[in-house]
Structure 1
Amino acid sequence: MTMGERLKELRLKRNLSQEEVARQLGITRSAYSHYEINNRQPVYETLIKLSDFFGVSVDYMIGGGHSRGAPQVTPEAIEIIRLLDDMDQEKRQKSLDKIRDAIRQAD
């Protein structure tokens, strides 16, 4: 699968338009469209933004060997990781314990 095909697949899974993705990345819709149809390759910085936005690795984006079964990280999971990363160890552990308890109670 090409990078363009992966970009399109990831975008459609989230029900987003090319315009919406481009706006979130700070690029033109035309530039993003060229990535999806493999007419152009994004520069390194844009590739990182794309992988962060879609919650996948750069390796996955460029068609690396780990493409099949690559975990899909939701925006919510990324937000939780960022919040936990900003905490000291004690607060992080308490927060993880609360998350685990909430998950157990939800089951």
Structure 2
Amino acid sequence: MSFGQRLNQARKTKNMSQEELASILGTKGPAIGRYERDEMKPSIEVASNMADILNVSLDWLTGRSPLQLDQAMINRVSQLQQLSEQDKQHILYTLDAMLRDAKTRKAYSS
């Protein structure tokens, strides 16, 4: 997926118009359209601001990461990294069990 496609997807996920995003960035709506059509590339500063506004990582927006993490998920991962190894293992064990349960429920509901 190109930068423009990712930008378009992230903007629409936030239910934001091109004009709204442009206004927050201090530019015009047509510039956002050109970014989304991959006719123009933003500076790193503008791309970073876009990522912050749209609550996605800059790595995802630029195609360096296949995962689209919102800011809440990034904050949780950061908090997890600050814990002791024992606490991390407890949380990851619980998370693994919850993910298995969710997959099982999904399989039975299909």
Q: C-alpha offsets along residues 60-98 of structure 1, whole Å, 9 cap, x if unaligned?
A: 11101x223x32126xx9xxx7xxxxxxxxxxxxxxxxx
- Provide the residue aligned with 2:96 in structure 1: none
**Counterpart Cα distance in 1 of 2:54 and 2:5:** 14
Give the SS at the match of 2:63. coil
- Provide the residue aligned with 1:67 in structure 2: 66
Letter aligned with residue 44 of structure 1:
I
Deviation at 1:48, TM superposition (A): 1.1
TM-score, scaled to structure 1: 0.63
CA RMSD in angstroms, aligned pairs only: 2.0
Q: Which has the larger radius of gyration?
A: 2
Letter aligned with residue 46 of structure 2:
T
Q: Is the 8 A contact 2:56 2:69 kept in 1?
A: yes
Give the SS at the match of 2:71. coil
4+ residue stretches of structure 1 with deviation over 4 A? none
Name the one with the larger helix percent. Answer: 2
**Counterpart Cα distance in 1 of 2:70 and 2:2:** 18
For structure 2, the 5+ residue unaligned runs are 76-110
Q: How many residues align?
A: 75
Deviation at 1:20, TM superposition (A): 0.5
TM-score, scaled to structure 2: 0.61
